[in-house]
Amino acid sequence: MGKLRNEKKLSALSVSEGVEQPGSINRDALDQLKRSKKKLPGTEELFNGVRRGDISQLGQAITLVESSLATHQKAAQDLISACLPFSGNAFRVGITGVPGAGKSTFIESLGMHIIQQGGKLAVLAIDPSSERTKGSILGDKTRMEALAGSPQAYIRPSPTGGTLGGVARKTRETIILCEAAGFDTVLIETVGVGQSETAVHGMADFFLLIMLAGAGDELQGIKRGIMEMADAIVINKADGNNIQKALRAQAEFTNALHLFPPSPSGWIPRVNTCSALHHTGISEVWEMAREYHTFVSENGFLVKKRQEQSRFWLHESLRDGIYNQVFNDPRMKEELLLHEKAIAEGRMTSFMAAASILNKYKSADKS
């Protein structure tokens, strides 16, 4: 009987203890999340890291500068002030172009050429933000794999945040940080043909317009104002069956540029062709850009241009600061809602409401 009872205990109906299952919380992921949320290093530590050319510290410094948190803004300004004496020595190149012109491919090809020539390159790729969600793709690193893998290059995609012409609000200060980190060339890629060109033109030494031949009437496809700002035009994708079209486009743009008023710099804008995909014509484009830089450095225009740019960004920063003060003041938010209602009901015009809000803001500020 005893033996039978033991056999029953070992029947197929008995339940084994099995293997202990892990907890529902992934501890490794939780620890990683905690580490990612740690505070940014202090201003002095970031400054020393930037001056050493530490890419990780540079990235953290740019994150501090781009932050909209009030606690970060004072530290960011202290960091910029410390880096300012070590900036200004880089060649700043703004690059724009029509959609599909191959800007990212061109920048990667040009960037690799600059590095091969012994340069150290920073690419500030301005990524468009959604007006609805304020989100952005930030995919420039995936489009520039070879450049992103080079230790002599640094690519920083930044969301526009819906600010001036689609240009990231802190791009100018990011340039200062990159220059203080030892980068001798800074490429600034814009979202595309639009208002952003005016802003990038206001922070670049050399402004390059990338065009595409064989896509319709090239001269009607862009704004005259953008062509007037360009120091050079490059017809990209001049390869295969497209070479003859690119040469025709080159002649058309060259003739069109002669109709514009002379540039204040004394430089005569040029039109080149290239194939970024096949790396042809890239060295000639860079040689032209370096020639421009030497030309405006020797005639004093570069210094004058940067002084004008600084004044431009002073005015823009004041406008931005006043706007933020008005919209972030709790009292003014209530006033804004009341005036919006008055406009909707037809009791005030937009201009009357704006003047009234500013007067109330000045009165509230004095009290």
Contact 50, 78 (CB under 8 A): no
Q: Can you state the angle between helices 330-344 and 350-366, rounded to 10 degrees?
A: 160
Contact 107, 189 (CB under 8 A): yes
Report d(CA 212, CA 99) in Å as an integer: 9
Provide the pLDDT for residue 138: 46
From the number of C-beta atoms within 10 Å of its C-beta (0-12, 13-18, 19+), residue 312 rates as middle
Contact 213, 248 (CB under 8 A): yes
Element (H, E) at 271: strand 270-273
Report d(CA 251, CA 245) in Å as an integer: 10
Q: pTM (2 decimals)?
A: 0.79
What is the chain's length? Answer: 367
Provide the pLDDT for residue 24: 47
Provide the pLDDT for residue 35: 47
Q: Is the dihedral of CA 99, 104, 107, 110 positive or negative?
A: negative
> What does pLDDT average to over the chain?
81
From the number of C-beta atoms within 10 Å of its C-beta (0-12, 13-18, 19+), residue 154 rates as buried
Provide the pLDDT for residue 339: 92
Please give the average pLDDT of every successive group of 10 residues along the chain, which has 367 residues.
Answer: 49 50 49 52 92 95 86 90 94 89 92 96 74 42 79 83 55 93 94 66 92 61 74 94 92 88 93 96 98 97 94 82 79 88 94 88 71
Angle at 238 between CA 233 and CA 244, to 5 degrees: 105
Angle at 48 between CA 45 and CA 51, to 5 degrees: 150
Tokens 């595309």 label which residue?
A: 192
